[in-house]
């Protein structure tokens, strides 16, 4: 099928075989679901039989096994989630919002400098610098300088790790998926891969940060690591050192590439749909007038912004290969037999582009979300489904909305004549732009 076109291949599979189809990777059966009713039955109503996230065995060799990204029911995912979830309460989000605003301010300064220079540049690169700086400060109280310095060690190590997750850069991962029977060999070879060497300095750095914070550094900070350390001290619902460090690692990986990709897609779409951008700008100005500014509360009350946010993620979901569960025992649901050990997978882009789920699914139309969102619950799945949906969803939403509001408040985005249309490209997990995304940014006149 070719990993270069995995997302298109799955769309074609759905069109050819319907809303349920199956693939064997070696002897591993994977069943793919595309319709709302099947998704509800497996991921919600029968969750107890599908509680373990389906993780490719080769990734069990990484330093993520104690994290919510990979841990199983037996490993205590429920315990870890109950410890982490309160970290993303409204009160904690508001405390992090001010820190986030400072980093977004740096982004706006950089974009203004570049727009005045007349140069063309890839805005995706700027969003990656932003999200790393935000994660560094909000997660670990690290004042990185990724936006201004591409040689910042935090930036270099994160980019190196993400590059090595790409199946085309790391063929061992792709081969292990296609021929899982030789997993003993793939695991033996894993230690010699770029991915294995890329994660060592990152995890080592987190160990050092952990040590410094345990020594009292940054004790007055409100950040993820501080809150996890508080949880570690909780004798009844605490976390181990391994759980703290590996969940910090997971938060870094999950919150960096995905959010920067989502921001890039949204900026691109707003440049292509000026009427949507203008309507959003008018809502921003109206909110400033009636709510006396753009703070956490006023931003989250903006209905059209919320519609743009949701439609951008529906149209271009950054993560398309991660909603997967392992069947824990034989079960038949809606006349479909699921044998023990099979993987059940839902691909976000396939669900989001299914005509049975959405009217005119290939049309970018934020208005579809201005009506009641209740019916969209299992059709809009960029953050996953059921009890194991992304625990950091509210943080990602806050970062996305705040960045887009500040960006559109300051700049008018438009396409550059001659620049190619955006082509999504799947690297195995993340669906990112294939080519640089170059836009024209024009400073708005201050009235």
Q: Which residues line the annotated binding site for heme?
A: 390
How is residue 63 written in tokens? 């330093």
C-beta contacts of 96-102 below 8 A and 24+ residues apart = 96/138, 96/222, 96/223, 96/395, 96/398, 97/295, 97/296, 97/398, 97/402, 99/134, 99/137, 99/138, 99/222, 100/134, 100/138, 100/398, 100/399, 100/402, 101/402, 101/406, 102/137
φ, ψ for residue 334 (rounded to 5)?
50, 45
How is residue 296 written in tokens? 């956490």
Q: Which of these, 166, 227, 233, lies nearest to 198 by C-alpha position?
A: 166
431 vs 317: CA distance, rounded Å: 7
Annotate 263-299 with DSSP letters as a single string. HHHHHHHHHH-HHHHHHHHHHHHHHHHHHSS--HHHH
C-beta contacts of 195-202 below 8 A and 24+ residues apart = 195/62, 195/161, 195/164, 195/165, 195/170, 196/61, 198/157, 198/160, 198/161, 198/163, 198/164, 199/62, 199/63, 199/161, 199/249, 201/157, 202/157, 202/158, 202/161, 202/249, 202/252
362 vs 354: CA distance, rounded Å: 9
447 vs 442: CA distance, rounded Å: 15
Q: Which residues line the annotated binding site?
A: 390
| Helix-then-strand count for the chain, H and E | 16, 11
Asked if 265 contacts 425 with a C-beta cutoff of 8 angstroms, the reply is no
Element (H, E) at 125: helix 123-140
Q: Which residue has the tokens 């691909």?
A: 347
Instruction: Name every residue whose Cβ is closer than 8 Å to that of residue 436 and which is 6 or more positions away in sequence.
Output: 121, 122, 124, 125
């Amino acid at each position: 099928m070719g990993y270069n076109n995995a997302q298109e291949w799955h769309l074609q599979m759905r069109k050819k075989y319907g809303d349920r189809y199956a693939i064997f990777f070696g002897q591993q059966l994977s069943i793919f679901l595309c319709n709302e009713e099947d998704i509800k039955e497996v991921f919600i109503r029968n969750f107890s039989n599908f509680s373990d996230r389906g993780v490719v065995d080769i990734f069990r060799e990484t330093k993520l096994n104690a994290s919510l990204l990979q841990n199983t029911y037996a490993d205590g995912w429920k315990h870890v989630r109950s410890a982490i979830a309160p970290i993303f309460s409204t009160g904690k989000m508001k405390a992090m919002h001010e820190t986030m605003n400072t980093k977004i301010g740096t982004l706006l300064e950089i974009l203004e400098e570049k727009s005045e220079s007349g140069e063309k540049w890839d805005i995706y690169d700027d969003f990656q610098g932003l999200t790393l700086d935000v994660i560094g400060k909000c997660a670990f109280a690290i004042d990185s300088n990724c936006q201004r310095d591409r040689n910042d060690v935090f930036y270099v190590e994160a980019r190196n790790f993400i590059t090595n997750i790409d199946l085309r850069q790391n063929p061992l991962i792709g081969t292990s998926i296609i021929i899982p029977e030789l997993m003993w060999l793939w695991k033996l070879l894993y230690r010699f891969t770029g991915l294995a060497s890329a994660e060592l300095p990152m995890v080592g750095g987190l160990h050092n940060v952990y040590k410094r914070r345990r020594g009292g550094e940054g004790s007055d900070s409100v950040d993820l690591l501080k809150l996890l350390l508080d949880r570690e001290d909780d004798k009844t619902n605490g976390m181990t050192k391994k759980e703290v460090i590996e969940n910090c690692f997971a938060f870094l990986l999950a919150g960096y590439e995905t959010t920067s990709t989502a921001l890039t897609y949204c900026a691109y779409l707003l440049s292509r749909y000026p009427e949507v951008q203008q309507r959003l700008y008018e809502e921003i100005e109206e909110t400033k007038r009636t709510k006396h500014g753009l703070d956490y509360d006023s931003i989250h009350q903006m209905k059209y912004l919320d519609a743009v946010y949701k439609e951008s993620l529906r149209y271009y979901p950054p993560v398309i290969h991660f909603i997967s569960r392992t069947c824990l025992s034989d079960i038949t649901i809606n006349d479909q037999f699921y044998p023990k050990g099979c993987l059940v997978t839902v691909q976000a882009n396939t669900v989001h582009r299914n005509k049975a789920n959405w009217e005119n699914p290939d049309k970018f139309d934020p208005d579809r979300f201005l009506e009641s969102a209740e019916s969209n619950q299992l059709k809009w799945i960029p953050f996953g489904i059921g009890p194991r949906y992304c625990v950091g969803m509210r943080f990602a939403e806050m970062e996305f909305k705040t960045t887009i509001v500040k960006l559109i408040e300051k700049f008018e985005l438009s396409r550059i004549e001659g620049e190619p249309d955006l082509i999504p490209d799947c690297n195995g997990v993340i669906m990112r732009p294939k080519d640089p995304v170059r836009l024209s940014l024009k400073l708005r006149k201050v009235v």
